[in-house]
């Protein structure tokens, strides 16, 4: 894909590739709605130039599906009703996936720290923590 040097990864994903699971929230790195994994590391797509991601593996919430089935973290979020309006959910799920890839058995405090960059204005944070603990268990960790 040919991109302009000023285009963010968020813009390219949504407007050029039509991958719309990644949400535009604040567009200044404060809310986490645009979180994607770049080489398994959570990053804000709104603050990442598309050129910075060249040659990297980029995973969006769509990439966490197992075929047509929800991935483990996605299923845990549904099970725990870890969303209300749902706008922040893709970023929350992707950030949680990145955490569990790096640390399969996080403590509650480690989850809170890892998720601190993802804001839920509806207040579903406690249910998100429970969902991440469940996902860790399902993925073989001992959270």
pLDDT in tens, 24-72: 999 999 999 999 999 999 999 999 999 999 999 999 999 999 999 999 9
41 HSE (CA, 13 A, CB side): 6
The contacts of residue 4 (CB under 8 Å, 6+ apart) are: none
Question: Is the Cβ–Cβ distance between 43 and 37 less than 8 Å?
Answer: yes
Question: Is the Cβ–Cβ distance between 131 and 143 less than 8 Å?
Answer: no
Phi, psi of 35 (to 5 degrees): -60, 130
What global pTM score does this model have? 0.94
Share of the chain above pLDDT 90, in %: 92
pLDDT band at 87 (very low <50, low <70, confident <90, very high): very high
The pLDDT, as a whole number, for residue 17 is: 97
């Amino acid at each position: 894909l040919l991109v302009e040097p000023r285009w963010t990864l968020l813009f390219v994903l949504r407007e050029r590739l039509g991958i719309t699971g990644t949400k535009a929230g604040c567009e200044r790195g404060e809310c986490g709605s645009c979180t994607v994994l770049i080489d398994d590391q959570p990053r804000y797509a709104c603050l990442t130039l598309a050129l910075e991601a060249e040659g990297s593996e980029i995973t969006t919430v769509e990439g966490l599906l197992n075929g047509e089935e929800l991935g483990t973290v996605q299923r845990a979020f549904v099970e725990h009703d870890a969303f209300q309006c749902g706008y922040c959910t893709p970023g929350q799920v992707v950030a949680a996936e990145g955490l569990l890839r790096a640390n399969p058995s996080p403590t509650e405090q480690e989850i809170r720290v890892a998720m601190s960059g993802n804001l839920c204005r509806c207040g579903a944070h406690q249910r998100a923590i429970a969902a991440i603990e469940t996902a860790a268990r399902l993925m073989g960790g001992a959270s």
